[in-house]
């Protein structure tokens, strides 16, 4: 029976080399020791007044805190490692890395019930379809109004152009009349102009 080989749907835990739990425990204990040493260095300068009152008590209390931290974190780590059966899962990963060859890269299944990306894609498509339909409906609804407004705008522009032209003609006529006629002859002209209209 080889390490990492399935036996009754369970994997044999590594025994010849260090187990995954041992590797994790060693790494975490190094980190915790480093944290404890850092705490021991930094707490002294920050608590100078307390340290001056009773230095031996202070040092022993800091050491007790560090030891308590290390023991509690080791206990918690062991509990976690047992709870999640790290050795078995590590052996499975090790076996898979050595023996299971995949030549094709992993791809999502594409099933919206199993794959969140496919589900989101489906939701996005539905949302885009709803938005496209709404835009099309609004376009159909607003297009006649826009055409009517453009038509009215053209009519107003034409009217405005005609009024400007008439105003220019009136200005030309009035300036010609003012310079040629005296006030008396001007009023006579206006009266005759009124008869034409």
pLDDT tens digit sequence for 88-145: 888 888 888 888 777 777 677 777 787 877 888 888 888 888 989 999 999 999 999 9
Alpha carbon 63 to chain centroid, angstroms: 46
Whether 94 and 160 map to the same domain: the answer is no
What pLDDT, in 10s, does the model give residues 43-99? 988 888 888 899 899 999 999 999 999 999 989 988 888 888 888 888 888 888 888
Could you tell me the pTM of the whole model? 0.40
CA distance 33 to 70: 7
Alpha carbon 112 to chain centroid, angstroms: 22
- The per-residue pLDDT for 68 is 93
CA dist list (Å): 145 to 62, 150, 194: 81, 9, 43
Q: Is 166 domain-assigned?
A: yes
Q: Encoding tokens for residue 41? A: 């260095």
Task: Spell out where 53-145 has E strands.
Answer: none
Domain count, the chain: 2
Mean pLDDT value of segment 151-168? 93
Looking at the predicted structure, is the pLDDT value of residue 12 above 70?
no
Q: Is 106 domain-assigned?
A: no
Under the banding of pLDDT at 50, 70 and 90, the label for residue 14 is very low
Of 99, 129, 154, the one marking the end of a domain is 99
Whether 93 and 128 map to the same domain: the answer is no
- The per-residue pLDDT for 128 is 86
Residue 133, domain extent: 121-196
Whether 125 and 92 map to the same domain: the answer is no
Whether 90 and 135 map to the same domain: the answer is no
Task: Phi first, then psi: give them for residue 10, nearest 5 degrees.
Answer: -115, 155
Of 65, 99, 133, the one marking the end of a domain is 99
Looking at the predicted structure, is the pLDDT value of residue 25 above 50?
yes
- The per-residue pLDDT for 119 is 80
> Taking a C-beta distance cutoff of 8 angstroms, is the pair 87, 12 a contact?
no
Whether 30 and 91 map to the same domain: the answer is yes
Q: Is 112 domain-assigned?
A: no
CA distance 193 to 181: 14
Of 48, 65, 99, the one marking the end of a domain is 99
Nearest alpha-carbon partner for 189 in 133, 102, 176: 176
Nearest alpha-carbon partner for 62 in 81, 86, 39: 39
Highest mean pLDDT among 78-82, 149-153, 167-171: 149-153
Q: Is 70 domain-assigned?
A: yes
Whether 132 and 91 map to the same domain: the answer is no
CA-CA-CA-CA dihedral for 185, 188, 192, 197, to nearest 10:
100
* Better pLDDT: 90 or 151: 151
Whether 87 and 131 map to the same domain: the answer is no
């Amino acid at each position: 029976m080889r390490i990492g080989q399935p036996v009754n749907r369970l994997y044999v835990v590594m025994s010849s080399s260090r187990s995954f739990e041992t590797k994790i425990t060693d790494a975490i204990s190094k980190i915790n020791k480093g944290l404890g040493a850092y705490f021991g260095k930094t707490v002294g300068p920050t608590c100078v007044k307390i340290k001056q009152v009773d230095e031996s008590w202070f040092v022993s209390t800091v050491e007790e805190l560090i030891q308590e931290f290390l023991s509690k974190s080791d206990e918690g780590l062991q509990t976690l490692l047992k709870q999640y059966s790290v050795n078995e899962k590590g052996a499975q990963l090790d076996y898979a890395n050595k023996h299971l060859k995949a030549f094709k890269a992993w791809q999502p299944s594409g099933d919206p019930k199993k794959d969140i990306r496919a589900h989101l894609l489906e939701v996005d498509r539905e949302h885009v379809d709803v938005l496209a339909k709404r835009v099309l409906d609004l376009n159909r609804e607003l297009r006649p109004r826009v055409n009517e407004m453009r038509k009215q705008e053209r009519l107003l522009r034409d009217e405005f152009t005609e009024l400007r032209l008439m105003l220019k003609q009136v200005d030309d006529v009035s300036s010609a009349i003012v310079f040629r006629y005296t006030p008396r002859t001007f009023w006579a002209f206006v009266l005759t102009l009124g008869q034409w209209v």
